[in-house]
């Protein structure tokens, strides 16, 4: 039987921001924080100037090269380990620093790193997972900016298995915080309906050990 998803959760009105999750966490969808020609220009800048490379992950003891491409930016000499692979941070670019400031103002949080993901089309996605690495701390704030193709983003509760979704618009911001990573998994499913690229920027605060 196909999984059933509820789009959003009781938004307070037709316009963001609103809470996506019904319980056990906060996922606030702010809608577009970058729009029009600015969003289009930022997308093209990232597509052309970021040194994209295919990611690596470990599944069932085997190292796998993913279809999507990634880049990791952050404060100087910053390393981040996830899925059994360590990434060394690239130096912040001016467009990324400008976007980071806008995201921090909207989210009311400070971030010191950003993981960028490039999905060339709907044939590339991300399976169920949680961003619960120890470097992020017990209740991380993760601010996700979407540029390019609109994609559906799903949440699934760890215990009840309830599911909820939100469509991420070009130039939009979604902030996951509080106990979200403890109680909810998330994914971006593949779809044949999408034929253009999407860049996802997830701003994070790494806790230095």
Average pLDDT score over the chain: 89
Residue 78 has a pLDDT of 67
Residue 10 has a pLDDT of 46
CA separation for the pair 76, 91 (Å, rounded): 7
Inter-axis angle of helices 36-49 and 94-107, nearest 10? 130
Answer whether 164's CB lies under 8 Å from 18's CB. no
CA torsion through residues 120, 94, 174, 115, sign: positive
End-to-end CA distance of the chain: 45
CA separation for the pair 21, 90 (Å, rounded): 33
Q: How far is CA 13 from CA 78, 110, 113, 136, in A?
A: 41, 28, 33, 32
Whether domain 6-204 has CATH 2.70.70.10: the reply is no
**Token duo for residue 92:** 């912040």
Residue 15 has a pLDDT of 79
CA separation for the pair 143, 7 (Å, rounded): 20
Residues of the chain with pLDDT under 50: 1-2, 10-14
Residue 64 has a pLDDT of 73
The domains of the chain are located at 6-204
CA separation for the pair 137, 139 (Å, rounded): 6
Residue 101 has a pLDDT of 97
Residue 133 has a pLDDT of 86
């Amino acid at each position: 039987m196909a999984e059933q998803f509820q789009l959003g959760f009781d938004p307070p009105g037709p316009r963001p921001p609103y809470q996506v999750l019904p319980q056990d966490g906060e996922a606030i969808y702010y809608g577009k924080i970058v729009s029009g020609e600015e969003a289009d220009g930022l997308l093209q800048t990232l597509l052309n100037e970021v040194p994209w490379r295919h990611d690596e992950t470990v599944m069932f003891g085997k190292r796998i090269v993913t279809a999507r491409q990634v880049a990791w930016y952050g404060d100087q000499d910053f390393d981040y380990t996830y899925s059994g692979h360590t990434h060394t941070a690239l130096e912040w670019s001016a467009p990324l620093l400008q976007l980071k400031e806008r995201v921090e103002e909207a989210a009311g949080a400070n971030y010191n790193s950003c993981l960028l993901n490039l999905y060339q089309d709907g044939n590339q996605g991300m399976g169920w997972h949680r961003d619960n690495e120890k470097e992020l701390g017990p209740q991380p704030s993760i601010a996700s900016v979407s540029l390019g193709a609109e994609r559906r983003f799903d949440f699934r509760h760890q215990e009840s298995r309830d599911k909820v979704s939100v469509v991420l618009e070009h130039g939009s911001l979604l902030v996951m915080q509080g106990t979200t990573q403890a109680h909810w998994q998330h994914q971006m499913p593949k779809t044949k309906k999408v034929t253009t690229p999407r860049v996802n920027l997830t701003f994070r605060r790494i806790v230095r050990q």
